[in-house]
Each structure stands twice: as C-alpha cells, then as structure tokens.
Structure 1
Amino acid sequence: MKKYIIQASVLALSAMALTGCDDFLDTMPDNRATLNNEEKITKMLVSAYPDNEYLYVAELMSDNTDDIGGPQNPYTHRWAEEIYAWKEETETRNSSTERFWSASYGCIAAANEVLQALDKIGELSPTLKECKGEALLCRAYNHFMLANMFCQAYTKNAASHLGLPYMEASESELVPQYERGNLADFYGKIEKDLTEGLKLIGDSHYSVPKYHFNVSAAYAFAARFYLYTENWGEVVKMANRVFGSDPRPMLRDWKALGSLALDHDIVSNAFVNASSNANLLLHTAVSEAGLIYGAGYSGGSLACRFNHCSYTSENEDMEATNIFGGSTEFYLSPASYSASNYNKVVWFKLPYMMEYLDIVAQTGYFRTVYPAFTSEELLLNRAEAYVMLKEYDKAAADLTTWMQNMTKSTKVLTPQVVSDFYNKAKYCYSDGAGIESALKKHLNPAFEIDDEGSIQENMLQCVLGFRRLETMHLGLRWFDVKRYGIEIPRRQMNAQGRPVLKTDVLTKNDPRRAIQIPLRVRDAGLEANPR
C-alpha cells in the first residue's frame, strides 16, 4: 500500500500547533521523561480530552439546520456557508474541522505518551492501572470521533472504505510515514483499545469523575460504538452495565429543569451540572456554540442565516405534533426568536463563558461545556438495539421511560401504539418540490430493516425522532443521518419562514457525508476523501 509523508505537527502532536518546531524538539523529550509517577501521569491525561468540539459543524451539516433568507441575508458568514453546503472549508475557526482534527490527534498523542510511560514503569499500582484504562479509552474515543467526522459511516463493507491513520505510539521523528488503511481495520483497532480499556477503568483516583472516562461513561461509549458497528447484542450488554435493573434513577430531572426561569445562563448551567446523574462525561471546549444556540441575537452572523428554524421545529421535531402530543408537553419549553433575517428555536443546553486573554480589553475565547455521553442517549441507543433485535416490547418500554421523563405525557407506548401513530404520519419532502417537512424521514441504512410501514420501521422512526430531540444542538443527529442514509435537501426559507427553493441535496450515498481531510494535512501527503 502507498505510504504518505505527513508532518508530525499536522497529524498528531498538539504542541506543534502552539509552539515553533525548535521549541517542540527541545522540550518534548524532557516532558516524556518526567512521566514517572501517578501525579504526573494523571495530570497528563487531562490533555487527552479535546479542547475543540465537533457539535457545531455536525449541527450545521445535519437536517437540524436550514438557510434563512438565502444569499440575500446580510447576517451570514462564509465559513458557515461552506459547512452548511457540505463544502470544503477555506478558513478556520475554533469550531472548524481542521481545529477538531488537530485537537483530536493531539489528545491521541497525549494518551500515547501516558501509555508509553506506563510501559516503562512495569508493575502498575491500582491507580496506574486505571490510568492505563483511561488512556486506552481516550485513544479509542478520539479515533472514533475522527472516523465519524472524516470517514463514511461504518457498514459491513467497511473494508472497502478509507480509514484514517491510527496512532498507537508516540512519534520521535519530524516526518513519520502514515497510511490511511481501510475503515474496517481502523474500527478493529478502536475496539481493541476499547475492550482493553474497559477491563482496567475505574473511578477511585478521580477528583471530578464526570470530566474523565469514569466507568459509566466508558460503558456508554462502548454502547455507542457497538450501535454504530451494528453489534446490537453488545449495545444491550453495555447499557445494562450502566443502568442495572432500572434506568430511571440515571435520567435527567427534566421537571426540575422546566421549573427554572427560562434564562439561558440558569438553564444551560443546570443542564451541564456535573452532579446530574444524566451527564456521564462532560467536555469543555473553545466554542461559540453556547452563543449560537443561546438567547436572542447571540451568536451574531454565525447564528442568523443558518440555524434551527421555526418551520423545521413546528413540522419535524421540537414543536411538531408527536406521539406524546405537542411542545407544551415538554417540561422544558423551547425558546423561539424571530426578526428580519433571523429565526431560531432552541433549547438552552450549552452555556457560554469567556476565557479572557486581556481582562481590560475584554478579549479572549468563548468556551462551552457539553455532555459527550448522557444516560438518555444511552437509553435510546438500547431501544434502537432492541428494535434491531426485534424485541419490540423491550424497545417500547425504553421509549416510554424516555418519553415520560422528558415530557408530561403518561401514555404507555407499545409496538402497536407506535406503529399506529407513525403509519398515519407523513414522510418529509413528499411534495413536488421535495422541500416540505413532516415528522418522518425515509430510511436507507446499509444494514437490513423491514419495509416502510412495518413495526420495525415505525419503531425506528420513533427512536430516531426521540434521539433527534434528545441530542438537539449536540451534534449526534448528523451521525444518525449518516448511519441511516437519510437524504437532506438544502432549502431557502422566505420572509415568512417557509421553504421556497431547493438548492442542493445530500443523497444517501453522497461522498460529502465524509468531511474532507484538512488541506494542510493533504498537502503533507495524506490521501483526500473522494469527491
């Protein structure tokens, strides 16, 4: 297989993004040599969690976002225009795909430094065994998220798709050689790290477990991994390790959230509170997502032209008539904002705060906190696995638990109740122009499901609809779009907020479902994604 020459600074070593080449070569060997005790190793593992997020890019690319006003909207931004249109980005921001690539490989480099240091220590204390488990899980997770952004969705034919370089060792040379390999092998390496990490992970040495791969977060990651790789039985096993016999004590207290004043700061900070059982793993990131999905005009030009608009909300998700009723059934009400060239409906999930570089000049970085894994997502992942196993009563029980927790509905879902409701619902884009919204989307997964209108397909519509609500603004809808081959038309909204023009469509086999590899990485020799 062809070899590719990649600059280490581009692919794996995060320090090079912040310092000059000479500084890096001067200091890194000394830093590696000092990883010789528990305190230093646990501190190093803090660097194995990404400081840049994927969720805003994923939201822009998904069907959660529409074009409000088109090119005539003066409140726009070129970077957002490119991401929304599934084009290659020509500039970078803190939420850009290039920053996420660099941050993720930087985290992998930190995990590899820890693993290399632990190999040199030899006999490991209980704490260092847990650190090894954490490092393996961080390495697996960062590779997993890179694959979901920059590769096609996993299928049984993954060996025919491009993977990415899997970094299993620290680099000591400036121009190491890498090859992309195939996606099946790439996922095989993720699973190896994941399974080894699960054997070692523990919570005893964490001061704030929710910001690390604690045991529950590790099994939630495993459940998502096996869901995306179509290993339905393992999804159930991993979820059961977290929930035990009853998932309800692990779920978010939506009733309490709904009792708070509908204020962005108050609600969003409560949503990401580390004391919530629902938040299994929290990340911090340099990001404007808290502004974009915040109150009023916050987010400026980034938030105005492209956002989750009222038409989509009223017809597809947050404010649509659903199996539990309408939006008034939610404990936490959506917040809606509309003005000229501006329209968005949001839930206050993502806080924003300023990291000041100059307190006098009031300059610095916007940051946010977001849950990488939640118990509600885990519950819906288990529900999907049950549907694929055709254990419909168990799936309906999980869906009922989720629904009765997030909404005031007391309805009990059964396979027949779900099937009756979704058989009456319309599919999106069934009008002549192919732009009108409805509750259901046509599903085109690479794995086999029963025909449209079947109990299985209707149950999947319910799972995907609930998960879209659960993960709104958190980026995971994009991965469901990829896994299920959901087609998305790009459409412009008029002054009344209704779709009037289709400008593009993402087909089920569209190569743009895999984000293009960053330009500077390709310039260094790594193979591009097909276009």
Structure 2
Amino acid sequence: MKRNLVYISALAIMTVAPGCKKYLEQLPDQRTEVNSPAKVAELLTSAYPRANYIPFLEAMSDNANDKGTDNNTRINRQPWFWEVSSDRSQDTPDYYWQQAYAAIAAANQALEVIDKATDKAAYKASRGEALLCRAYAHFMLVTIFSQSYDPATAAKAPGIPYVTKPEKIVVEKYERKTVAYVYEQIEKDLTEGLPLIDDNSYTGTLSYHFTTSAAHAFATRFYLFKKNYAKVVEHANLTLPAGKILPYLRPVNTTYNAMEELVLRKEYTRATQKANLLLAETQSLWARNVITNRYGCDPALGSMINGLDNPSRTRMAYKVYYQKPEDYFVPKFYELFIRVDQNANIGDPWDMIPLLTAEEVLFNRAEANTQLGNFNEALADINDFLSQRNNLYNPTQNLSIDKVKGYYGTVDTRAAILETLLYYKRIEFMLEGLRWFDILRHKIPVVHTSFDGKTKMILGANDPRRMVQIPQEAQLSGLELNPR
C-alpha cells in the first residue's frame, strides 16, 4: 500500500529552518500516515494558521498610539513605524507567513489523499474543509503581503505563491504571479469547497472548523475586497438562519455589561459564544502584552470607544479598563499557558482569536448594501448593531439618513453611511487587527505621532509600506521582495 505522508511546506521551512539538511534528517521521524477519512479530518485541524496577525496589523493601524512608556519591544515597535520586521518569532509577519503556508501544506496533503482515495464520497466534507482552509490562508497572505485588490491594477500587481500540491523537496521554486491570479484561485477553491461543507461531519466544537456559516462569512470578506457587493449580500444572507444576524451579535450592553474583567476575557473567545463563527488557537503573547505595549490603546483611543462624539450621540456600553493612566483596553483575550516541563515554569503561551464573527458579517453586508444604494437596509443592520452596543439603548437612538448626513455635514448619503459604519466597525474591532483591512480597502491614510509630538509619520494611500515585506528567506524560493 502506498503511504500518504504529511509534509510541511517549503515556503514555511524557509522562514524557520535555514539549516534545511538538518530538517530533512529529522523529517522522517515526524511523518504521519494518513489513510482514512478520520485521519484526514484530524490532519485538517492543522490546516488553520496557528499564528496571530493581530499584534502587527493593529500596530500598523490608527488604532495604536504612542504611550511614551511601557513595553517597547521590537515586535510592537517595528510595525508601528512600518519597518521591515527583523524578528521571526511569534506575533510577527514572518511567523504568520510560515504558519499560513504550514496550514496550506496540511490542506494540500489532505486533498492529495482524497484525490487518490477509491471511496471519494467518504471524504466529501473533508474536501470542502480543505479547500476553504486553503482559500482562507492564501487570502490572508495576499491581503497582508501584496497590494490590496484593485480591478485596475490586480492583473499586474505581484501576488503571493498559490500552492496547490504537497511539496516533496525543500527548495521549491515559486512565482508570485499576480493579485488577480491569486484571487481567481481563492474564488475557485471557495466556490468549489463551500457546497461540500457538512456541519454534521465534524466531531467536537464546530467553532474551530469551517462550518457552512463560517464559510459564507469568509465569502463576505473576500467579495467585499473584490468589490462584488451583490455577492457580499448574498453570502451574508446565507451565513445565519433566515439572514438574521441580530440574534448572533454579542450582548455587550446587557450580558457582557454585567461581567467582570476576567470573565469577559474568557467569554469573548469562548466557543459557545454565538458570535464566534470561526476561532483559531494561536501561539501568541498578545493577551499578555496587549495592555502594556508602548504602541497601542492609549487614553485618547480609550475615550473614543465610549465617547459621545458619534453619529448616535450616545455612549457605547463597552467595558473599558485601564491598568495605568496610559494603558487602556477592552477585555477580549485570555492566555492559556501550556507547560512543557511540569517541574519548571516553562511552556508556551496560546491565545484563542476570533477569525470570523457575526459582527463582521453584519458590517460587511451593511457596507455592500451602502455601495449598492440600499441605504435603508444598511442602516437597519447598523441599528441592529447599536441595539446591542448603545448604553441604555432605546429605539429613539436609531440612526436615519438625515441623522448621519447631519452628523458628517454632507448631502452625500452613501458617504455618510460609509463613514458611520467604518467608525463603529473601528471601535468594535479595537485590539483585533481588522481595522487594517478597512484602511487597505478604502486607502485611508494613517498618521502616527510620537508621544512628545515632535515626530509625525504618515502612511499615504499608495505608500508601498502598506504591503508587509515578505520574509527575506523566501527569496530562496525565487520570490521578489516588495518595493520600499
């Protein structure tokens, strides 16, 4: 019988193991035979990137200010200055690259086993999950390391390698091809894989897998970047039963409001929380460092979260804490420390992070409807969101077209609603890194000012530093670096 063996992507190896000969000497002992539907399903638990993108994407955005003191680490500092990362440890772009391609390698190995199986029907659901995992990881890579999708430039802009087969050698040669090509491949995997997903095929907790809901949620993000707004609405309406998102939103102004800080930290990423459509375990120090990072949520940003200066003129009900006068935060993350030595305080920190949520689907649908001219539908979603966020909510706080135009001082309805939803979305995903995606899509300039006010840095709409630099070791696979 032919043995099916698990290989780690060469693109992943390049960033963590320059000593390839040593790696190959160890590889046979680390191989696992995969020869049944159950083992393929188990393999696919490794097809989700176990790396945290939040630390560097949040630092790059306008959701991070210079506090002047605190934990001035290179991992936090370099992305805030939009510098090329010189670190390859957890919570860095290089680490995310490595882990994303490792996840892709697992998905490809699963697909190879499925393609060679005689009873392909037994693997149908796993094939769907593998294709969704491959699409998701490549989407995150092209979004972070390439130019943001633009129909006018996508056919020329360098993408990232779209890997569709297991690698048998360490130094494989790759092409970046184009952003357009990568998007075509993502869409191909997405549209082929989504109908194959079967929620009943999963054992254990659904939130750790691409369920039908999570797959549609991912589709809303993908098509929002692609500017196919009708598809965003279509998939958003299919994400949750009857297209009703409100019952799945986090109850921030009720249940959450009564919780203590530590309870909130655990609740936010709990698998039983209905808002969490897809969760991932990541090796990360984010939960430990998010409060004390020098570049992060300061009093100005903390005050903005629950301030009155917003389109509804009503305070939000987020529980905002501060540890020191300069350290503000919303409790969202809880570290799980896994000991590797029971006799010593040695181990690995792990954070659970929400990859896809009901809130993001709501905002994606609202933005798509706004772009399509369906303004009332967009405002209905925003008002559903506010009903779970405004302090002491009552329907008189609901937004109307006149209210948002009046607040932003414009006669342009589309622009006013877009500004409104981007404002609330920025606050909702504070400390989660998703603000960076809106900055990319809308070409929003980012201004970072030093604590003493003497230095102001601007990341313009077309600044090449918006593309995170790919790991320099990836040049060994023939990849060109991003311009600087």
Q: Same fold (TM over 0.5)?
A: yes
> What's the CA shift for 1:219?
0.4
> What's the CA shift for 1:51?
1.2
1:324 matched residue in structure 2 = 312
Change in CA separation of 1:292 and 1:412 when aligned onto 2, cut-off 3 Å = same
2:142 matched residue in structure 1 = 147
CA distance in structure 2 between the partners assigned to 1:525 and 1:453 by the alignment: 51
Change in CA separation of 1:524 and 1:168 when aligned onto 2, cut-off 3 Å = closer
1:242 aligns with 2:239: yes
1:382-421 → structure 2 map (5 Å cutoff): 382-408=365-391, 409-410=393-394, 411-421=397-407
Change in CA separation of 1:125 and 1:511 when aligned onto 2, cut-off 3 Å = same
CA contact (8 A) 1:489 1:502 kept: no
Percent identity (aligned) = 33
Supply the AA of the counterpart residue of 1:379: L
Change in CA separation of 1:23 and 1:406 when aligned onto 2, cut-off 3 Å = farther
CA distance in structure 1 between the partners assigned to 2:130 and 2:108 by the alignment: 7
TM-score, length basis structure 1? 0.84
CA contact (8 A) 1:12 1:108 kept: no
2:164 matched residue in structure 1 = 168
> What's the CA shift for 1:276?
1.6
> What's the CA shift for 1:47?
0.7
2:323 matched residue in structure 1 = 337
Deviations 1:158-217 (A, max 9, x none): 112110110000111232221110100111100000001111011112121100101100
Supply the AA of the counterpart residue of 2:290: Y
Name structure 2 gaps, 5 residues minimum: 1-7
Supply the AA of the counterpart residue of 2:66: D
2:52 matched residue in structure 1 = 53
CA distance in structure 1 between the partners assigned to 2:168 and 2:354 by the alignment: 34
1:28-427 → structure 2 map (5 Å cutoff): 31=32, 34-69=33-68, 73=69, 75-126=71-122, 128-156=123-151, 157-206=153-202, 207-243=204-240, 244-254=242-252, 255-261=254-260, 263=261, 265-294=262-291, 299=292, 303=293, 305-315=294-304, 317-319=305-307, 321-327=309-315, 329-330=316-317, 332-339=318-325, 343-408=326-391, 409-410=393-394, 411-423=397-409
Change in CA separation of 1:58 and 1:279 when aligned onto 2, cut-off 3 Å = same
CA contact (8 A) 1:140 1:190 kept: yes
CA contact (8 A) 1:15 1:106 kept: no
Change in CA separation of 1:453 and 1:23 when aligned onto 2, cut-off 3 Å = farther
CA distance in structure 1 between the partners assigned to 2:361 and 2:187 by the alignment: 18
> What's the CA shift for 1:381?
0.5
CA contact (8 A) 1:45 1:135 kept: yes
Change in CA separation of 1:246 and 1:334 when aligned onto 2, cut-off 3 Å = same
CA contact (8 A) 1:15 1:24 kept: no
> What's the CA shift for 1:100?
0.4
Deviations 1:354-387 (A, max 9, x none): 1212233212222111110110110011000000
Q: Flag as ranges the 4+ runs of structure 1 deviating above 4 A.
A: 12-19
Deviations 1:212-244 (A, max 9, x none): 101100100001100111000000000100231
CA distance in structure 2 between the partners assigned to 1:26 and 1:355 by the alignment: 26
* 3-state SS of 2:78 partner: helix
Deviations 1:389-413 (A, max 9, x none): 0110000100000111122332222
Supply the AA of the counterpart residue of 2:140: M
TM-score, length basis structure 2? 0.92
CA distance in structure 2 between the partners assigned to 1:349 and 1:177 by the alignment: 41
> What's the CA shift for 1:9?
5.8
Supply the AA of the counterpart residue of 1:133: G
> What's the CA shift for 1:469?
1.6
1:510 matched residue in structure 2 = 463
> What's the CA shift for 1:16?
7.6
CA contact (8 A) 1:354 1:366 kept: yes
CA contact (8 A) 2:173 2:478 kept: no
Q: How many residues align?
A: 468
CA distance in structure 2 between the partners assigned to 1:45 and 1:523 by the alignment: 28
CA distance in structure 2 between the partners assigned to 1:24 and 1:121 by the alignment: 28
Change in CA separation of 1:15 and 1:112 when aligned onto 2, cut-off 3 Å = farther
Supply the AA of the counterpart residue of 1:422: Y
CA distance in structure 2 between the partners assigned to 1:14 and 1:136 by the alignment: 24
CA distance in structure 1 between the partners assigned to 2:168 and 2:181 by the alignment: 24
Deviations 1:329-376 (A, max 9, x none): 31x32112334xxx1221111111212122332122221111101101
Supply the AA of the counterpart residue of 1:313: G
* 3-state SS of 2:324 partner: strand
* 3-state SS of 2:168 partner: coil
Change in CA separation of 1:184 and 1:336 when aligned onto 2, cut-off 3 Å = same
Supply the AA of the counterpart residue of 2:129: E
Change in CA separation of 1:10 and 1:512 when aligned onto 2, cut-off 3 Å = farther
CA contact (8 A) 2:15 2:98 kept: no
1:26 aligns with 2:28: yes
CA distance in structure 2 between the partners assigned to 1:74 and 1:258 by the alignment: 29
CA distance in structure 2 between the partners assigned to 1:414 and 1:289 by the alignment: 38
Change in CA separation of 1:399 and 1:9 when aligned onto 2, cut-off 3 Å = closer
1:11 matched residue in structure 2 = 11
* 3-state SS of 1:49 partner: coil
> What's the CA shift for 1:311?
1.4
> What's the CA shift for 1:483?
0.8
Deviates more, 1:243-252 or 1:459-468: 243-252
Supply the AA of the counterpart residue of 1:238: H
> What's the CA shift for 1:323?
2.3
CA distance in structure 2 between the partners assigned to 1:285 and 1:473 by the alignment: 16
Change in CA separation of 1:75 and 1:142 when aligned onto 2, cut-off 3 Å = closer
2:5 matched residue in structure 1 = none
CA contact (8 A) 1:293 1:347 kept: no
CA distance in structure 1 between the partners assigned to 2:121 and 2:14 by the alignment: 29
1:430 matched residue in structure 2 = none
* 3-state SS of 2:348 partner: strand
CA distance in structure 1 between the partners assigned to 2:85 and 2:13 by the alignment: 22
Supply the AA of the counterpart residue of 2:134: R
